[in-house]
Structure 1
Amino acid sequence: MRPSTRSELLRKVQELGFACVDMNLYLDNNPEDKNALNAYNSLCSQFAQARCAYENKYGPLTNFGYAPSKYPWEWVSQPWPWDKEFNQ
């Protein structure tokens, strides 16, 4: 199932980001686990795709230069994901 709404897509980004960090921590303690490394690389790819999909549709999630901008420069014109209005 592909996320269809803004909140569903953001949740997917959050879930994949959490999974990447979790696998990163596991690999810190088990660096020789090839299956875990393959899972980590797959999750990182899925995370990047989900983040790009969200940012292309709704704008950047961070202001650290990870997302290009359309002309004219526009940071965010809608509520931030953590704003109360976002979930209404």
Structure 2
Amino acid sequence: MSSQVQLPKEFYPLMEELQVVDFVLVELTLYLDTHPEDYAAIQQFNDASYHRRMLVPKVEQYIGPLQQFGNSYSGYPWNWNQAPWPWQI
């Protein structure tokens, strides 16, 4: 059993913001699947997507890469196997 990793207090508001943006993106994706010509929703999706792209590096500086398959960079040494895991935060 691993011990809980303590992260700096600055990390938690960033992670919460990322979770909010991810929720918005999931909901807009579902909406746009049935309303593909809603221009305002597409703009909201693109704005949220841009916001996520700017936010991810800030979160990753604390916990390392969030996504595999080339969507996030790895630090040295390879840090995909390092805690904290998402469920440990």
Q: 1:30 aligns with which of 6, 31, 35?
A: 35
Pairs aligned (count):
81
Higher relative contact order (CA 8 A, sep 6+): 2
Gaps of 5+ in 1: none
TM-score, length basis structure 2: 0.74
- Alignment-mate amino acid for residue 50 of structure 1: L
TM-score, length basis structure 1: 0.74
**Percent of pairs identical after alignment?**
35
Question: Residue 20 of structure 2 corresponds to which residue in structure 1?
Answer: 15
* CA apart distance, 1:63: 3.8
SS of 1:82's equivalent?
helix
> Where do residues 5-84 of structure 1 align in structure 2 (5 Å cutoff)?
5-75=10-80, 77-83=82-88
Structure 1: distance between partners of 2:83 and 2:10: 14
Structure 1's consecutive aligned runs of 4 or more residues displaced over 4 angstroms after TM superposition are none
- Alignment-mate amino acid for residue 47 of structure 1: R
